Amino acid sequence: MLTTLVGAVVVLLHLAGVLAAMHAVMHTRTPQGAFAWALGLVFLPYVTLVPYLYLGRSRFHGYVDLHRRRRGQMQALANGQLPTGTASQQACERYSEIARLLGARFHDGQRLKLLVDGEATFEAILGAIGEARRCVLVQFFIIHDDALGRRLQQALLERVRAGVEVCVLFDGIGSHALPRQYVETLREAGVAIHPFATQRRSNRFQLNFRNHRKIVVVDGTRGYVGGLNVGDEYLGLKPPLSPWRDTHLQIEGPAVADLQRSFAEDWHWVTGELPPLLRPGPGHGGARTLVAATGPADRQETCSLFFTALIHAARRRLWITTPYFVPDPAVMAALRLAVFRGVDVRVLIPARPDHHTVFLATGLYAHDAVRAGIRVFRYQPGFLHQKVTLVDDDTATVGSMNLDNRSFRLNFEIGSLHVDRGFAGEVERMLDEDFAQAREVTEAEYLQAPYLRRLAMHVARLFDPVL
């Protein structure tokens, strides 16, 4: 009897695995991902079936349908309150395909302030919130209920009690440890606060699509974007990853309107309403800025194409910093071609892991990159989490985007591209200091590693579709 029952369960699991494999073949975005899932589901359904329920779905029809049917309508409503951008065509011509891809525009006259670590970032953000008079929009992937999280909470409570309208979004997966009491304290005081999820009804099987954006807008005039979340580790207060290396950016000028548009799109999905949208101040700076909001509901794989186009634009220099270096074939090919054009291509990655699987995969891709003539460096003092790119002498990007499949295809991301020699010079000086504290990777790092570690690196790369 027991044998018959076990046999029936095995048959049912294999049948379910075959059906799931058919679903994976039909709906997984990349051939590599489809093949990996199908192989595991058919031959090892006992191991892969439950992970596929959580991680394998590549579509979430509710959000995609709303995103595509109503995005234009929502943007029209926002555009009625916010200006559109214009910038000197000649200066930004080499990035015109990025603008067309994203349906975005460059804005003239941005004033930029590079925030080179957690202390500088949150001093600026909390200071700006403390000065708010009309509206504060806040969006983070992670908010922790720790010392920094409570500083943010108190700043928001103080502003809402002063009559300022405050809207907060946090990712339901990234902030899964955020206590209900933290949220309720804000809500009871009058803060409009909501978790972001890709489906309006609860779906415990949907873990794959995450809103990784970090946006703060104060009174429509000052915007913040970059790599930092809200937690003590981002201030370098949690060994063994401290000191934490990260970068954020303050923007003042018309481009802040596009940060508000991105926030409004996510807010509209969660609440069905638009947040307060305020016209940004006039541009008094020298930077031309494009805000790049990407996500898995886009018809194109906009994040991957954004990086590919950016790499192809480089003629003299291309410096990239990323905590997770798991490039797709298009990005890796673009990096290789840049080397053949004579571009100084450098990639700065961590020397310490925060996620071991992606760290192992990053090591293998670093080896492939070095063999292709790309210079790869490991940052030594602590964990490197910054997402910054420097192109030639006049272009830099700061945002939330990593060079991995999760950012390319699974996460909602936000970044900013700036054409300005002065700002690019600031970024160059910052990165010069970072590279000075890094060790260059050679082929020996992989070749002299123990066999089991090299095997683990290759196994980790099999999980590229969900890294």
**Angle separating helix axes 61-79 and 256-271, nearest 10 degrees:** 130
Catalytic residue among 354, 368, 392, 394: 392
SS3 letters across 395-448 = EEEEECCCECHHHHHHEEEEEEEEECHHHHHHHHHHHHHHHHCEEECCHHHHHC
* Residue 153, amino acid: Q
C-alpha separations of 184 from 156, 201, 208 in Å: 13, 20, 26
Q: Give the DSSP letter of residue 112.
A: E
Catalytic residue among 23, 212, 248, 268: 212
Q: Give the separation between CA 95 and CA 267, rounded to whole angstroms.
A: 29
Catalytic residue among 67, 214, 248, 268: 214
Instruction: For residue 58, give every residue at least 6 positions away whose Cβ sits within 8 Å of its Cβ, in sequence order, or none.
Output: 27, 28, 29, 33, 208, 296, 409
Whose structure tokens read 């978790």?
A: 195
Number of Cβ within 10 Å of residue 339's Cβ equals 16
The answer to whether 305 touches 413, Cβ cutoff 8 Å, is: no
Catalytic residue among 385, 404, 420, 434: 385
For residue 385, indicate whether it is catalytic.
yes
Give just the sign of the alpha carbon dihedral 384, 386, 389, 393.
negative
For residue 219, indicate whether it is catalytic.
yes
Catalytic residue among 387, 418, 420, 434: 387
Q: Give the separation between CA 356 and CA 335, rounded to whole angstroms.
A: 25
Q: Residue 33: helix, strand or coil by DSSP?
A: helix
Can you read off the two tokens belonging to residue 33? Answer: 């991902």
For residue 387, indicate whether it is catalytic.
yes
For residue 248, indicate whether it is catalytic.
no
Q: Give the separation between CA 259 and CA 78, rounded to whole angstroms.
A: 12
Q: Give the separation between CA 289 and CA 397, rounded to whole angstroms.
A: 9
Q: Give the separation between CA 360 and CA 365, rounded to whole angstroms.
A: 9
Instruction: For residue 78, give every residue at least 6 positions away whose Cβ sits within 8 Å of its Cβ, in sequence order, or none.
Output: 260, 261, 264, 274, 277
Q: Give the separation between CA 77 and CA 71, rounded to whole angstroms.
A: 10
Q: Give the separation between CA 149 and CA 162, rounded to whole angstroms.
A: 20
Can you read off the two tokens belonging to residue 221? Answer: 């005039």
For residue 113, indicate whether it is catalytic.
no
Can you read off the two tokens belonging to residue 69? Answer: 């049917």
For residue 212, indicate whether it is catalytic.
yes
Catalytic residues: 212, 214, 219, 385, 387, 392
